[in-house]
Amino acid sequence: MLGRWRRTALAVGAAAALVTTSGAAYGAPAAGPRAAVAAAEPGSAGMLAYTFGVGSRGQTRIATVWTDGSHRQVITKRGNAYGPVWSPDGSTLAYSTLRGVGLMTATGGGQHLVVPGGRSPSWAPDGRRLAFACDEGLCVVDLVTGQRTVVVPTTADWPAVDSSTWSPDGSSLAFTRISADGDDYTSDTQLWTVHADGSGLAAVPGTSPEGIDPLWSPDGTWLMYTEHYGGRGGEYSGDVFLVHPDGTARTPVLTLDGSDAGSSWSPDGSRVVVSSVADLYPTMDGIWTLRPDGTDRQLVVREGWGAQWRPAFTAPLPGTTAARAASGPRLAYVAMTDTGFDLFTARPDGADVRRLTTRGRITSPAWSPDHRMIAFVARNRRGAHALWTIRADGSGAKRRTDVGFQPPQLAWAPGGGVLAYGDGPRLCTYTLASRTRECRRISDNDVDTVSHPSFAPSGRRLVFSLTDNTDVSRLVVTGTHGGPVRRLTQGKGGSALDPSWSPRGDRIAFTLAAGGQFDRRRQTAVLTIRPDGTHPTTLFATPGLDDAPAWSPDGRRVVVRSDGPPAADGTAQPGVWVVDASGRHEWLAVPGRGVAYADW
């Protein structure tokens, strides 16, 4: 991370994309049950989350990238999000906004505010608590109970606190304290340590007046930190050092010309991440990894700052631990793998997992009506998306047509020869046999967006979400070949997303999302509604995220992506859930936060 003043300056002026990987061809032999895949180790590479600036107004976004520089993906699309920090299990990112501290999944989904007014979060090793800088000083919040504690209060001599880091055993914190000393242009800073209960407060000798952003090593023996100087004329510089928590053995890591800042350790402690903001030295600008002794410096990406190395993460691929067995057609879903996000199928009980693709960059799977083929969207290295199909056994992958630079959701017509998708304000269909595409404008407003179409069983009508320029989405029904456009929902209770028409034709399942992207009151639930817009009924609602419903082929069950009902200890149970059409008898079919885009 950079110091408070640097981060704030870059953020002044100011939601779900997937972390995907590259590949020009798709398709892999079907595989039987397999162990979970370690997503953080493709060869010797890991994953970083970092902040970068956009535009001329100081706006910021968060992106992820592999440490070899490949697989970059922007995971926040609006607002000013910065300072991402991985949870200990690598499943969740905490980050700062101008409104406070937010949380989101590793793919950028489920963004919501958890600490209004907070900044510079850091995770406790238990994954339950966050330390953050607050107006009162250094604070800690329990994410389960919501209890907030001031660990170190501000004083007249030390009126502010910035970034913090937990010791690996969770017993202590190191943090940046901002002094009242300084001048109108700069503030003196120093590293301090304190026990988690607020006792044992002590300064780290030798880190004043420019020490900021401490980072505890995985073995607990070192603090990496940055000595940052901001000058009267706007110039700045920074060097990176190691020091024991008691202030001894201060050792330089990087002291080159320009401004460098340490931001993370690799999970095994063998490498560190630094960012170089070198306006006068453009060849050194960017994010780098190197050994803690300063050798073997390797460029990751020529942009950004505050990169955080993702902890070792096991891809949440299902085993045979589902709560209930279920026969019938297989589920298709996208899950995190060693190459990004790939396409899988599994039985409805989560067993017999088969991986169909191996090169990542997969979204939006959709089964053909006869369950012999899956359509999906894949992204190439230039960021463009294309529609592909693949047989259920993983063979015969075929690229069909370009679909633009935003990944659309797909819907098969009941006859199996046509796919529908949204393209901005247009509703498009692609006919496989003739390889022709037809689009018609649904809205005269170019900023409106058609998404997630779903056919009625007769094939004569389509339901989809239409999002307007205020970011409110409504369910809309129209004829497949034209005709009037009719709203089913009015947007008063929130946005209606992800519609899925029941094979029986009597209900439409959809996601109801209340609140804004960074609104801490934001909640989602899965509802059903009649095709005439009447009798909305809650189908599945948990304290966390619930979205993306899809019906089973017989219309008796619905698959939902969800944080799940809390377990006995209060923790979430994220993954793909199955629930009866009545809203009862739910079970977790595919566990894990890294699972997305399920279809049945």
Give residue-wise pLDDT tens across range 527-566: 999 999 999 999 999 887 888 999 999 999 999 988 888 8
pLDDT at 322 over 70: no
pLDDT at 59 over 80: yes
Please, is 150 exposed, middle or buried when counting C-beta atoms within 10 Å of its C-beta (0-12, 13-18, 19+)?
middle
Confidence band (pLDDT; 50, 70, 90) for 303?
Answer: confident
Please choose, from the candidates 456, 453, 457, 480, the residue with its C-alpha nearest in 3D space to the C-alpha of residue 465.
453
Interval 196-220 mean pLDDT? 95
Tokens (6 digits) for 517: 């992207």
Q: In what order do the strands lie in the sheet with 398-404?
A: 362-367, 373-379, 385-391, 398-404
| 388 vs 514, higher pLDDT | 388
Confidence band (pLDDT; 50, 70, 90) for 594?
Answer: low
Q: What is the pLDDT of residue 583?
A: 87
| Unique residue bearing structure tokens 């604070």 | 139
pTM: 0.52
Q: What is the pLDDT of residue 234?
A: 46
Residues 257-267 as b/e (b if ≥16 CB within 10 A, e otherwise) read ebbbbbbbbbb
Report d(CA 518, CA 335) in Å as an integer.
Answer: 25
pLDDT at 520 over 80: no
Give per-residue pLDDT as tens, 129-154. 999 999 999 999 999 999 999 999 99
Kindly write down the DSSP assignment for every residue of 11-56, as one continuous string.
HTT----------S--------S-PPPBTT-STT--EEEEEEEETT
Q: What is the pLDDT of residue 336?
A: 67
Looking at every residue in the chain, the average pLDDT score rounds to 83
* Pairing mode, strands 385-391 and 398-404: antiparallel
Instruction: Identify which of 35-49, 447-461, 484-498 has the greatest average pLDDT.
Output: 447-461
Using H for helix, E for strand and C for coil, what is the string for 395-431?
CCCEEEEEEECCCCCCEECCCCCEEEEEECCEEEEEE
pLDDT at 14 over 60: no
Give per-residue pLDDT as tens, 94-128. 999 999 999 998 889 889 999 999 999 999 999 99
Structural domains present in the chain: 4-19+41-309 (2.120.10.30), 331-599 (2.120.10.30)
Element holding 6 (H helix, E strand): helix 4-11
Residues 330-369 as b/e (b if ≥16 CB within 10 A, e otherwise) read bbbbbbbbbbbbbbbbbbbbbbebbbbbbbbbbbbbbbbb
Report d(CA 14, CA 389) in Å as an integer.
Answer: 40
